[in-house]
Structure 1
Amino acid sequence: MNTKYLFLDIDGTLVGFDGVMPSSASEALKKAHENGHKLVICTGRQLSQVYPWLLKEIPFDGLILSGGAMVINDGKVAAHHFISQSSLKKLTDYFENSNTAYYLQTQSFLVSKKWCVDRTLSLFNKLGYTKEDLLTLFGETVIDDNAGGRSDVEKLIYYDSGVDFSELQKNIGDEFYIVGYSFGNLGNTSGEIAARGVNKASGIKEYLDCCGGDINDAFAFGDAENDVEMFKSVNTGIAMGNACDELKHLASYITADITDDGLYKAFAHFGLI
């Protein structure tokens, strides 16, 4: 088999929402790499949020981060996209006026305001997560009262919005890429926003362009709404058994749940291992 490019989401695909990767997934990744296939993380997480142990344990060839905003090939930055300051100010004003908590993703840390942090902590507490859990899962948050004036923001995440998703799409969708939040079960009141045209599919294209790969050799593995564009861009999309219905409808193949050796079974099914 010729070299395949395996684009892999993290949360719900490689790693459970408890922060643990099944041993079978680790075994599958290592075997596939030994067989000459390229392993590329494709996640909504920023660089600093990717688990250090994951990068140490698995020989990834590339990283697509913040939902396509940052692309790394062989340790070098191949592309990096930011939300413009004028657009960011528009976004933060919009959410503050609607009393909606938000975080800003940069390469190295999250940025927010204290009232947003307090509200989000309360929301995650109801889902069973502690403050310490969130620090482990998402990393450091810097409090910045002028958050909307930054120039290093890759993506905005909003939580528990009183604004309906369709209304949000209607109001600001022409200028931004908006998708439902990919971590946990927060319904349609939380989401992720990037500059228009920036998503996992655009990140895959930029990665393949820089390394000379063929989109026909690309496989995408995912479970959430922010994986939809990624699935549409490749010939072979593999949905985890725990994936959302929309992704399953697009999938070439539906494997078992992440906790039921889903990744290993998918790799074996396609002869990658």
Structure 2
Amino acid sequence: MNTDKKNNTIKAVFFDIDGTLVSLKSKTIPESTQKAIKKLREQDIKVIVATGRSINDLDHVKAIEFDGFLTFNGGYCMTVDGKVMSKQAIHPEDIQNLINYSEQTNVGFSLMYEDKVQISHAAPKVLELYTNLNLKIPPLYDKNNADIDNVLQVNVFIDPQDEETFMEKVMPNSLSSRWTDLFADVNPGGISKQKGVKKFCEYFNIDISQTMAFGDGGNDISMLRYVKTGVAMGNAGDNVKQAADYVTDDVDNDGVEKALKYFGLLD
């Protein structure tokens, strides 16, 4: 851990959503977090979402004004004024392999597109995800006419111990990460939150030495390691905390505000 991190040169802060900005208990953004982010923007510090969610699943954070949206774990990056900076779909062969595998094993999945989400079937684990995230359950995909060319991200409902074998066998052109034992996020090979951060730094002409990021899940690890100051929430897993420069309090105990104060970005 690098402890020499206190500075006032931060120009951009990237925030994961679930478990970081939004409490997984209350399903809301703590008032302290909302006020803290407002103060960042008043200092002309860019505030950017960095999430595994779809670009269309951000209604619950609209109370905050952002400067950009890093979604699908970096697979789809968009400015606040709607300019798509980057978009990359999963290899169609991997999607077809997934569909075939699911029909043989009954493993559930979600197909996430730029403008929609579809699920394989209403399995208990699939329903649990959308209930936990307070999202409407998506429609089923059309088995006879599936769009395999434009999938930006997949959620696959497999256990962590099965993930490596599954990826090698079924989706070898893609990359998996996870923030919950319930499912794995699958993105195109080479895509990560780190790559998304790099895109935004290039767009805003910000050096990586001027960046900070907050996260709590496994899909945040590449981002936390890449930025100048990576902050893990107190509710993060041990692997995430080990990748961070600093561990703050839980999201429900004003963790974002406390870390920003610690690093001198708030009074």
Q: TM-score higher than 0.5 here? A: yes
The answer for the alignment partner of 1:54 in structure 2 is 61
Question: Residues 119-130 of structure 1: matches in 2 within 5 Å?
Answer: 119-120=124-125, 124=128
Q: Indicate yes or no: 2:71 matched with 1:65.
A: yes
1:197-245 Cα offsets, whole Å, 9 max, x none, are 0111111111111221111111110001110111121121000000010
> Percent identity, aligned pairs only?
27
The residue type paired with residue 19 of structure 1 is K
The residue type paired with residue 77 of structure 1 is V
Q: Which runs of 5+ in 2 are unaligned?
A: 1-7
Q: Distance in 2 between matches of 1:169 and 1:88?
A: 12
How high is the TM-score relative to the length of structure 1? Answer: 0.86
Q: Distance in 2 between matches of 1:261 and 1:40?
A: 19
Moved over 6 A (4+): none
Q: Distance in 2 between matches of 1:177 and 1:160?
A: 14
Q: Distance in 2 between matches of 1:169 and 1:121?
A: 19
Q: Indicate yes or no: 2:189 matched with 1:196.
A: yes
The residue type paired with residue 101 of structure 1 is G
RMSD: 2.2
* TM-superposed deviation, 1:148: 4.5
Q: Structure 2 residue aligned with 1:232, among 215, 225, 228?
A: 225
The residue type paired with residue 48 of structure 1 is N
The answer for the alignment partner of 2:139 in structure 1 is 142
Q: Distance in 1 between matches of 2:202 and 2:220?
A: 20
Contact 1:239 1:255 in 2 (8 A): yes
Q: Structure 2 residue aligned with 1:266, among 252, 259, 265?
A: 259
Q: Indicate yes or no: 2:204 matched with 1:206.
A: no
The answer for the alignment partner of 2:43 in structure 1 is 35
How many residues are matched? 256
Q: Distance in 2 between matches of 1:220 and 1:200?
A: 10
Q: Which runs of 5+ in 1 are unaligned?
A: none
Q: Distance in 1 between matches of 2:66 and 2:125?
A: 32
| Worse overlay, 154-163 or 206-215 | 154-163
Q: Structure 2 residue aligned with 1:178, among 176, 190, 206?
A: 176
The residue type paired with residue 264 of structure 2 is G
